[in-house]
């Protein structure tokens, strides 16, 4: 199938392009970007022109920041194209519901992707936890924003999510591996005085069976980067590290699925394989559980002003 990639930035170059080029399901047929392109691939400056001139392209994959993404998705859906959405799938929950309704009306597929759910050990963690009694779960997601998001000013603007841009990855894993739904009960969000989005957050959740669940996100981490989920159960302790790429249960390390040192290896190829299946089956996947928790954090969270952040 032919796919057009819209938004040629870091995530597109690092993850989407290699995943598409390495897939037997996909051909990267065109790109849309005002500033970027991919060697050997037809480039368009705007989506409307692509939709008009390339009716043979069935799928549009949107790698834009969340705020402008809705209008692009609407245009693609109205043109009868299947749409794949980078995380988070929109700037608001209402936007995402609207896109799903439009896709259903048009009879096309739309996919809200959560790449961290495709990390190598997430499925094994989910399977192990499904019949255990959970006592506690703690998320520690700490990284250096200067290292991972250099020069990305949009992420500090309203709608850019700030530290929840990586934090939502953790929540996508949590909502995938837990057999029971959780809800937010308290949050503290730290906003640099010169920024519109938070640089750190602490969250507390309610679990239907009383387990203690919390999360700490921080973008000021220097040195070792930490992406860890630790769950204590009646049958021992499960620990997911490196964003779900590594797993240990009661101190025993699970066999590595992707072992070349790249924590994201395999995630985007698996996303594109799922998108291919959705298109073939006429399916829709718009799970918004991670986004709902983030929205609730902004609704319920206590705002704390901290020192300015400078790149």
Query: Residue by residue, what is the 3-state secondary structure of 14-63?
Result: HHHHHHHHCCCCCEEEEEECCCCCCCCCEEECCHHHHHHHCCCCCEEEEC
Contact (CB, 8 A) for 95 and 70: yes
Look-up of token digits 């094994």: 124
- C-alpha–C-alpha distance, residues 226 and 175, integer Å: 19
- Among the listed residues 2, 10, 24, 87, the single catalytic one is 87
Q: Would you call 189 exposed, middle or buried from its count of C-beta atoms within 10 A (0-12, 13-18, 19+)?
A: buried
Look-up of token digits 């918004």: 288
- C-alpha–C-alpha distance, residues 35 and 180, integer Å: 44
281-304 burial code (b ≥16 CB/10 A, e <16): eeebbbbbebbbbbbbbeeebeee
Does 10 qualify as catalytic in the annotation? no
- C-alpha–C-alpha distance, residues 25 and 272, integer Å: 8
Which two tokens mark 265? 């290896």
* SS3 assignment, position 81: coil
Query: Which residues are catalytic, by number?
Result: 87
């Amino acid at each position: 199938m032919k796919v057009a990639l819209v938004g040629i930035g870091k995530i597109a170059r690092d993850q989407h392009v290699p995943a598409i080029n390495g897939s037997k399901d996909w051909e990267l047929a065109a790109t849309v970007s005002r500033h970027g392109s991919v060697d050997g691939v037809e480039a368009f400056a705007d989506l409307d022109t692509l939709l008009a001139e390339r009716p043979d392209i069935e799928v549009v994959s949107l790698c834009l920041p969340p705020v402008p993404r809705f209008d692009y998705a609407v245009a693609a859906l109205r043109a009868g194209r299947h749409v794949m959405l980078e995380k988070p799938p929109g700037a608001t929950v209402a936007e995402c519901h609207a896109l799903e309704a439009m896709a259903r009306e048009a009879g096309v597929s739309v996919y809200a992707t959560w790449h961290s759910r495709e990390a190598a050990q997430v499925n094994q963690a989910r399977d192990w936890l499904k019949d255990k009694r959970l006592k506690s779960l703690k998320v520690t997601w700490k990284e250096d924003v200067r290292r991972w998001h250099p020069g990305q000013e949009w992420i500090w603007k309203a709608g850019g999510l700030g530290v929840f841009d990586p934090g939502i990855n953790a929540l996508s894993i949590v909502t995938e591996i837990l057999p029971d739904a959780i809800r937010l009960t308290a949050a503290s969000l730290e906003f640099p005085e010169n920024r519109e989005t938070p640089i750190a957050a602490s969250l507390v959740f309610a679990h239907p069976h009383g387990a203690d669940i919390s999360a700490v996100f921080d973008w000021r981490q220097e040195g070792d980067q930490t992406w860890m989920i630790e769950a204590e159960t009646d049958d021992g302790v499960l620990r997911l590290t490196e964003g779900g790429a590594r797993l240990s249960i009661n101190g025993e390390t699970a066999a590595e699925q992707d072992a070349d040192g790249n924590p994201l290896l395999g995630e985007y190829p698996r996303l594109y394989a799922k998108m291919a299946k959705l298109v073939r089956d006429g399916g829709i996947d718009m799970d918004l559980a991670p986004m709902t928790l983030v929205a609730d954090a902004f609704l319920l969270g206590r705002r704390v002003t901290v020192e300015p952040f400078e790149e």
